[in-house]
Amino acid sequence: MSSNLDRYERIAPLYDLLDLPFEFSRYRKIRHLLFQGLTGRVLDAGVGTGRNIQFYPPEAEVVGIDISPAMLARAERRRLSLGADVELRQMDVADLEFEDQSFDAAVATFLFCVLPEDVQVPALREIGRVVKSGGTIRLLEYVRPRGALRRAVTRLWEPWVAWAYGASFDRRTEEHVPEAGLELVGSRFVVHDLIKLISIRVKK
């Protein structure tokens, strides 16, 4: 994960600016989907600069983690500006410093499309470990589009997103869910055929 740490330490000052067009055209319309019906203690894995904070359910106790101190510093500024009660901690999603079953639910926004293939299952297992049996895990993730035009566009963008974010459109996160001992409950496109909402349950 060191390469991702270096990458996000470097890009943190520009991250929100680079993401701004997508934030307003796509992400703000779908972030709330992650939190529908969630209560209790919720883990926001890969909290980044804290774009999810304004969508946190008021009745939930949220802990946000990220591997990058520079990204967390920006999340802290956002937390303060919104007056949000959220705990922010530096942590590797594949090595969480929480007790088993210490969360009621977990979410991640465009985290798994950044994680290398060999980290996918360990990260899913770790999130599943800290979420209570029967609890919900929700992911928003980019995938390779099926349509010819968007598929061609993602091919053009691929070198940039790989360099800047370490991201790929070809992660096999859904396939890894059963490997991690978790149950895939649902998967649907929420932005064209490009972004999916993946719903997972921790087995009892």
How much of the chain exceeds pLDDT 70, in percent? 99
Q: Does pTM surpass 0.85?
A: yes
What's the confidence (pLDDT) of residue 144?
Answer: 87
Q: How many domains does the chain have?
A: 1
Contacts of 202 (CB under 8 A, 6+ apart): 128, 131, 132, 133, 134, 135, 136, 137, 182, 183
Which CATH number characterizes residue 134's domain?
A: 3.40.50.150
How much of the chain exceeds pLDDT 90, in percent? 85
Range in 61-70, 102-111, 144-153 the model is least confident about? 144-153
For 128, the domain range is 2-202
What's the confidence (pLDDT) of residue 162?
Answer: 85
Longest CA–CA separation in the chain, Å = 46
pLDDT at residue 1 greater than cutoff 60:
no
